[in-house]
Amino acid sequence: MRLLTALGMAGLVCAQVPAVQDYGYEVASIKKADPTARGSRLGPGPQGGMRTTNTSLMALIEFVYNVREYQVIEAPGWIKTEAFDVSFTPDKPDAMPAPGSKVGEVETYIARNRLRMKAVLRDRFGLVLREETRQLPVYGLVVAKGGHKLKTPDEAKTGPSMSTNPERGQMTGYGVNMGMFTRALAGYLQKPVVDETGFTVPF
């Protein structure tokens, strides 16, 4: 058992430590998604912002606070079932990383847009969160006794990518570090996963 941070819904579930530099938005649009839409998408938006389609508020919370559904507690059921189309334009134009950019550049860009989307959820949804620590069992990602057989990526190819195939129980990553992989694995398992490999380079 380990101590893990959980987010609880208050009002609409963690007071976060303020970022060293805040990033806001100039224009935001939120609409109810087309009920006949299939699948959801979260990707680049105007002037380096973000645009989501057919996305639940739970999915947006997971993105903004870098948590998984099992860490969000006391939440009303509709945040998982009602879907929205959300887009925002940054207060200042922000350049997206070019294809093939290093993992660090991509993660820094994503971190800025997390702060912007956080402001959108606060202002437009009235989202208020509180943080607490609970004891939960976790999985540990470790290196097998025989060592790993992972390959380093070809720098000439495009940047980090992840895909899952639930039917085959398969996850595929390219140019991803262990932090990105464990987050994806935790989302797939809906259980906490801790990186204990010690790897610092992408594979």
* CA–CA distance, 4 with 139 (Å, rounded to integer): 12
User: pTM of this prediction?
Assistant: 0.65
What is the structure's pLDDT at 157?
60
| 126 and 190 part of one domain | no
pLDDT band at 32 (very low <50, low <70, confident <90, very high): very high
| 75 and 115 part of one domain | yes
How large a percentage of the chain has pLDDT more than 90? 10
3-state DSSP assignment of residue 127: coil
pLDDT band at 159 (very low <50, low <70, confident <90, very high): low
Output b/e per residue, 151-182; b: 16+ Cβ within 10 A.
eebeeeeebbebeeeeeeeeeebbbbbbebbb
* Tally of domains in the chain: 2
* CA–CA distance, 186 with 188 (Å, rounded to integer): 5
What is the structure's pLDDT at 40?
85
Paired strand residues for 43 = 51
Which residues span the domain enclosing 104?
2-137
What is the structure's pLDDT at 31?
92
Tokens (6 digits) for 26: 């100039």
Taking residue 31's Cβ as centre, other Cβ atoms within 10 Å add up to: 10
pLDDT of residue 3 exceeding 50, the answer is: no
pLDDT band at 17 (very low <50, low <70, confident <90, very high): very low
What is the structure's pLDDT at 18?
40
pLDDT of residue 54 exceeding 60, the answer is: yes
pLDDT of residue 11 exceeding 50, the answer is: no
What is the structure's pLDDT at 57?
92
Instruction: Round the average pLDDT of the chain to a whole number and report it.
Output: 79
Domain end point (choices 137, 161, 182): 137
| 118 and 49 part of one domain | yes
In angstroms and rounded to an integer, the radius of gyration of the C-alpha atoms of the chain is 18
| 149 and 123 part of one domain | no
| 76 and 108 part of one domain | yes
Domain end point (choices 85, 120, 137): 137
Compute φ and ψ for 177, nearest 5 degrees: -90, 175
| 174 and 132 part of one domain | no
Residue type, position 169, single letter: G
**How are strands ordered across the β-sheet holding 83-90?**
25-32, 83-90, 50-56, 41-44
Between 69 and 34, the higher pLDDT residue:
34
pLDDT band at 107 (very low <50, low <70, confident <90, very high): confident
pLDDT band at 33 (very low <50, low <70, confident <90, very high): very high
Domain end point (choices 81, 113, 137): 137
Compute φ and ψ for 195, nearest 5 degrees: -80, 115
Taking residue 49's Cβ as centre, other Cβ atoms within 10 Å add up to: 24
| 103 and 11 part of one domain | yes
Summarize pLDDT for 160-179 with one digit per residue, the tens: 777 766 677 777 777 888 88
pLDDT band at 86 (very low <50, low <70, confident <90, very high): very high
